[in-house]
Structure 1
Amino acid sequence: MAGCDILISGTGGFAARIAFDIAAAAREPIEVIIAGRNFERLNWLRTAANARAALFGATARFATHEIDLLAPDASDVLLTATDPRIVVQAASIQTSQVIAQSGNAWTGLVAEGGLSATAVFQALISARVAAAITRAGKPVTLVNCCFPDVVNGMIRAMGHDVSCGMGNVAILSNVFAGSAATPAGAEVKVLAHYQNLAAWRRRPEERGGRAPRVWLGGEEVADVYARFADIQLTPEPVIEISGASGVPMLLAMAGGRRWQGHVPGPDGLPGGYPVKLVGGRLELALPPGLLREEAIAWNTSFEASNGLVVSSDGTATFTGILGGRIAGHIPELRDGFDVHELEAVCETLLGLREMLMQRA
């Protein structure tokens, strides 16, 4: 198979949203390959994406590559077969729908301890793809869509490059930009961690806790909850926004153009930031008066309070309520783990997940 501009790894709803929006938005020739193991699903995604491109008069073309992404050496084999310039990694062994599910002890642990309970599962395939890119030694841009606020830091601690993720902060920046409370043409800049999303899934009168930081036209909004009371997210992942949010960036990357917007986990940083794409690389584009160190510290504080923190020496440590719950089940993880031990830790946590899913 010849090389492609963008390789989409995964065939779930998030991957489909990305492919379908590329199909509608591309105005320059672009070749996309979608990879996964479900042959019938791949055929449908290719058929629908090419149909949407024809429908919208777009210049994207889609092909597929059938592969079991969990098979040994799958990431190396996939990169060799497709020779991509950009990899959009959207395959995971943990569905994001867990945030809207209930009924067993595993969903209860996630609801109580936070989504970082799933971070190791989200990191598994993404870390393998990142390592394969490193081994290949080619200039491939990795966009990790799987829990990037936390997982991208794990990938960087393993010694691999990762450009950014999609969604999360970009969900909020775009809903704020589309709000009636935002003056037409006002520049919107948002500093947000994925944990900030939960409040916007509740009714306006029920919102509380730390809000994202928002600037309109260079001025920081004093009361974000009051200003954007019209915004309402769904209980389940808002793929219609999150999956779409990275498409303008991907098209700019593929076309060698400048772009400005918001992404989670740029270059492995925790949380989400305003950024600009210059010369094929993302740089922080913070609002006036906000220092880089301040922005990073603000995002870091969320996982430090409750979640999963990755230290400079590559130690990943569960914190807060989540740390207590994980340690209660698996005492050997009380002091964290080396990110290079991800595969073994994943096996241990998969056993815990299986056990808890059997409990009401």
Structure 2
Amino acid sequence: MHRKKLLIVGGGNLCLQTLQILAPRNQFEFHVASRNIEQATRMCNLIRLAALQQNVTVEIHSHRLDLREACIGRNAETLLKIRPDIILNCASLQSWRVITQLPAERFAALDQAQLGPWLPMHLAPAYALMRAVKQSCPKSLVVNAAFPDAVNPILYKVGMAPDVGIGNIANLIPATRSAIAHLYGCLPTQVCAKLVGHHYFSHCVPRHGLPPQRLEPSFNLTYWIDGEERTGEHSAEAIFGCVAREFSRLGGVEGQYLTAMSAVTVLENLHAEHEVRVHGPGPQGLPGGYPVKVGMGKVLLDLPYGVTREEAIQVNEAGQRLDGIQLIRADGTAVFGEAQMQVMQRELNFAMAEMRVSDAAAWAEELGSKYLAYAGDTQHHSSHHTGVAAHAAGHRAFAC
């Protein structure tokens, strides 16, 4: 059986969890690329041996890939040797979850900045990867896991957008279907839901229910039961409140299982012979998250009837502003929200009003240094935090 080549970039926890699901199914020729070749090789051996427990022989290879500016040419050579059909980018200079390891009071203070101001940590390696992809394997389908709601539309502005993202809005769909089923007294499999919303919305709902609604809507929900549209019969407050109350789940490292499963849903169906309906952030370089169709090597929008592309973009741009990115200019420059950046200034002594794509690596270096100083300082306040600085530094090795 001919297997497509799947390359996963970034040998962190999301890479591992995705491989743990995919490997026993044995549908791909697997490749893992990381700056830490020893860790990547040991991960590949773990996956290979674990699959053999189920008597499955998995073909999996490790490669060195360093997503720094100076290594783009070398990375392009590596990609040319692999010739992947699909690339899953899991690389990040600092995982979103690192700040959750802070003492509760400091985490609560810093978390008010939302994810937007951390954009450099996700954009810099993705930008380096996409330049190597464009040089060596421009026909490869690229799936981005690193803040795709914002990274994908920024890279689109400079002609380097990944095809789609994973997680975020996709992670909210199972709980939304389950909540609707709970309210109607039916099975979740009888419910079909299409949800438009940014990372901010998908991050807020499982924790707090429906966020306060402002003048601009931050989501659009359409749902059906057994093929019959029932949108509006239950309020959004009831549905998303039910998500937070009845379907509260583990987060953090364990919670990435849900993100890994959303990645699997996309990866396994990108080259399907028919279109499969899923959800994903950043399709076609658009901001935020959307219902999409994947299959036959394509990613297409799958908006419900009556919701235009422009309306869906406006909803996501409203969420983008709540997440701390005021706008993305035509040249890819990100302009950050004042309120969110004030939190970064107060907590980390870090100020960044706007950022050009080409400056992402430099901003990431400064932000990483400021965070390590902040995290290290907490050792004076809490014995709980011993080793956090080292933990954060480890995540700056391109793994999420």
- Displacement of 1:236 in angstroms is 2.0
1:42 is matched with 40
Pick closer, same or farther for the CA change 1:276–1:304 going to 2, 3 Å.
same
Which of 220, 226, 231 is matched with 1:220 structurally? 231
Please report the TM-score for the alignment, with normalisation by the length of structure 2: 0.78
1:142 partner amino acid? V
2:212 is matched with 209
**Residues in 2 aligned to 1:312 and 1:186: alpha-carbon distance in whole angstroms:** 39
- Displacement of 1:212 in angstroms is 4.7
Summarize the alignment of residues 246-325 of structure 1 with structure 2, pairs less than 5 Å apart: 246-255=263-272, 257-308=274-325, 309-325=327-343
Which of 63, 66, 71 is matched with 1:65 structurally? 63
Give the SS at the match of 1:72. Answer: helix
- Displacement of 1:55 in angstroms is 4.9
**Residues in 2 aligned to 1:326 and 1:197: alpha-carbon distance in whole angstroms:** 22
Between the two proteins, the alignment pairs up a number of residues equal to 352
**Residues in 2 aligned to 1:135 and 1:12: alpha-carbon distance in whole angstroms:** 25
Pick closer, same or farther for the CA change 1:356–1:88 going to 2, 3 Å.
same
2:212 partner amino acid? G
In the alignment, is the contact (CA less than 8 A) between 1:275 and 1:285 conserved in 2?
yes
**Residues in 2 aligned to 1:44 and 1:197: alpha-carbon distance in whole angstroms:** 34
Give the SS at the match of 1:6. Answer: strand
**Residues in 2 aligned to 1:147 and 1:128: alpha-carbon distance in whole angstroms:** 15
In the alignment, is the contact (CA less than 8 A) between 1:201 and 1:235 conserved in 2?
no
In the alignment, is the contact (CA less than 8 A) between 2:201 and 2:211 conserved in 1?
no
1:126-168: CA deviation from partner (whole Å, max 9, x where unpaired) = 1111111112253111111111111112211222131111111
2:361 is matched with 343
**How large is the Cα RMSD of the aligned pairs?**
2.9
- Displacement of 1:66 in angstroms is 3.5
**Residues in 2 aligned to 1:252 and 1:37: alpha-carbon distance in whole angstroms:** 28
In the alignment, is the contact (CA less than 8 A) between 2:270 and 2:295 conserved in 1?
no
In the alignment, is the contact (CA less than 8 A) between 1:105 and 1:359 conserved in 2?
no
**Residues in 1 aligned to 2:24 and 2:163: alpha-carbon distance in whole angstroms:** 24
In the alignment, is the contact (CA less than 8 A) between 1:306 and 1:320 conserved in 2?
no
1:120 is matched with 120
1:230-275: CA deviation from partner (whole Å, max 9, x where unpaired) = 2213342521111111212212224555321001111221111100
- Displacement of 1:303 in angstroms is 2.0
1:128 partner amino acid? A
1:301-342: CA deviation from partner (whole Å, max 9, x where unpaired) = 1222441231223221111421334567455x33x1322322
In the alignment, is the contact (CA less than 8 A) between 1:99 and 1:115 conserved in 2?
no
**Residues in 1 aligned to 2:105 and 2:139: alpha-carbon distance in whole angstroms:** 43
Structure 1: 5+ residue stretches without partners:
none
**Residues in 2 aligned to 1:341 and 1:301: alpha-carbon distance in whole angstroms:** 25
1:7-44: CA deviation from partner (whole Å, max 9, x where unpaired) = 00111110111111111344x4x201011243443234
2:267 partner amino acid? L
My pick for the range that moved more, 294-303 or 226-235, is 226-235
Please report the TM-score for the alignment, with normalisation by the length of structure 1: 0.86
Structure 2: 5+ residue stretches without partners:
379-400
